[in-house]
Amino acid sequence: MLKKVSLSLVLIAGIGGHAMAACVLTGPMSKEAIASRLQPPGVPEVVVAGGGAAVPAAPLVAAHPGKKIYDTSCTACHSIGVAGAPKLGDKAAWEVRLKKGIETLLKHVHEGYNAMPAGGACPQCTSEDHKHAIEYMSGTTL
Ligand code: HEC
């Protein structure tokens, strides 16, 4: 009996303490507090090349594995559709391309395709990287 009472007291103290700490330390409307609420759990860390310290991914965006590659290499053409490049998020344009099959698309990115340079401006990217970028641009999971 005595045990039960003290346990619930601990629980109440725990909950109260937690809520208060959240208010005092961050403030519910502070930028950081909003960002931390919007951030999905388990956002992967980005490891800086060269063995630097790990830094957290951009706080407000759930990181798609293809986003970074797209932002670095594909966006120059695929954001505005340079020379007929299928645009980011243009489902209809991507549907036509995806019908060719992912193997063909990866081959075209790897070797270059009409106005698209070999590697899609990312010659060091692996097929897996390119695939992620295609998934990101087309809004599909392949
Ligand atoms: C210099 C501009 C440019 C860059 C950079 C670029 N692309 Fe392209 N991409 C194009 C153009 C233009 C087309 C359309 C070519 C056509 O159909 O004639 C295209 C088409 C594609 C296609 C469809 C190919 C097919 O067979 O229909 C894929 C997939 C693709 N790009 C992926 C990528 C990826 C992934 C990246 C970044 C790693 C990238 N592209 C970077 C210009 C670019």
| pLDDT tens track for 67-83 | 999 999 999 999 999 99
pLDDT 10s digits, 5-28: 444 444 344 444 444 444 344 456
Does residue 44 come out as left (phi exceeding 0), alpha (psi in the -120 to 50 range) or beta?
A: beta
Q: Which atom of ligand 1 is nearest to the CA of 117?
A: 1
Counting ligand 1 atoms within 8 A of each CB, the residue from 73, 75, 77, 116 with the most, and so the one to mutate, is 116
Ligand 1 center from residue 124 Cα (angstroms): 16
* Average pLDDT over the chain, rounded to an integer: 77
SS (HEC) of the chain? CHHHHHHHHHHHHHHHHHHHHHHHHHCCCCHHHHHHHHCCCCCCEECCCCCCCCEECCCCCCCCCCHHHHHHHHHHHHCCCHHHCCCCCCHHHHHHHHCCCHHHHHHHHHHCECCECHHHHCCCCCHHHHHHHHHHHHCCCC
Residue 59 in this model has a pLDDT that exceeds 90: no
* Res 23: pLDDT: 39
* Res 43: pLDDT: 52
* Res 48: pLDDT: 54
Q: What is the mean pLDDT of residues 80-94?
A: 97
Ligand 1 center from residue 62 Cα (angstroms): 24
Assign 63 a pLDDT band (cuts: 50, 70, 90).
confident
User: Which tokens sit at 43?
Assistant: 């956002």
* Res 137: pLDDT: 98
Residue 104 in this model has a pLDDT that exceeds 90: yes
Ligand 1 center from residue 125 Cα (angstroms): 14
